[in-house]
Amino acid sequence: MTFKAILVSKADAGLKTDLVTLSDPDLGDGDVTVAVEYSTINYKDGLAISGRGNIIQTFPLVPGIDLAGTVEASASADFKPGDRVVIHGWGLGATHHGGFSQRARVPARWLTRLPSNVSTWQAAAIGTAGFTAMLSVLALEHNGVTPASGDILVTGANGGAGSVAIAILSGLGYRVVASTGRLNEAEYLKSLGAAEIIDRRTLSEPSPQPIQPARWAGAIDSVGSHTLVNVLAQTQYGGAVASFGLAQGTDLPGTVLPFIGRSVTLAGVDSVNAPPAKRDRAYQRLATDLDFGKLEAMTKTVGLAEAPESARSIFGGGIQGRVVVDVNA
Residues of the shown chain interacting with ligand NDP in the complex, contacts defined by CB under 6 A: 42-44, 128-129, 132, 156-162, 180-182, 200, 204, 222-223, 227, 244-248, 269-272, 314, 316-317, 319
Please say which residue, 79 or 188, places its beta carbon nearer to ligand NDP. 188
Q: In angstroms, rounded to a whole number, what is the distance separating the alpha carbons of residues 42 and 213? A: 34
Please say which residue, 238 or 249, places its beta carbon nearer to ligand NDP. 249
Q: How far is the CB of 108 from ligand NDP (least distance, A)?
A: 22
Please say which residue, 80 or 300, places its beta carbon nearer to ligand NDP. 300
Which residue spans within the chain are E strands per DSSP?
2-11, 14-23, 32-41, 66-74, 84-88, 103-106, 112-113, 152-154, 176-180, 196-199, 216-221, 235-243, 265-268, 299-303, 322-326
* 273 torsion bin: left (phi>0), alpha (psi -120 to 50), beta (else): alpha
Handedness of CA 194, 198, 201, 203 (dihedral sign): negative
Please say which residue, 27 or 92, places its beta carbon nearer to ligand NDP. 92
Q: Which residues contact 83 (CB under 8 A, 6 or more apart)?
A: 70, 71, 74, 111, 113
Q: In angstroms, rounded to a whole number, what is the distance separating the alpha carbons of residues 56 and 32? A: 22
Torsion of the alpha carbons at 114, 120, 123 and 128, rounded to the nearest 10: 110
Torsion of the alpha carbons at 238, 243, 246 and 250, rounded to the nearest 10: 70
Q: How far is the CB of 91 from ligand NDP (least distance, A)?
A: 14
- Enumerate long-range contacts of 285-288, CB under 8 Å, 24 or more apart: 285/134, 285/137, 285/138, 286/115, 286/118, 286/126, 286/130, 286/131, 286/134, 286/168, 287/115, 287/117, 287/118
Q: How far is the CB of 281 from ligand NDP (least distance, A)?
A: 16
Q: How far is the CB of 66 from ligand NDP (least distance, A)?
A: 10
Q: How far is the CB of 299 from ligand NDP (least distance, A)?
A: 12
SS3 (DSSP) at 10: strand
Please say which residue, 27 or 197, places its beta carbon nearer to ligand NDP. 197
Please say which residue, 4 or 312, places its beta carbon nearer to ligand NDP. 312
Q: How far is the CB of 117 from ligand NDP (least distance, A)?
A: 24
Q: How far is the CB of 199 from ligand NDP (least distance, A)?
A: 9
Please say which residue, 129 or 240, places its beta carbon nearer to ligand NDP. 129
> Residue with CB nearest ligand NDP?
159
Please say which residue, 33 or 128, places its beta carbon nearer to ligand NDP. 128
Q: How far is the CB of 42 from ligand NDP (least distance, A)?
A: 4
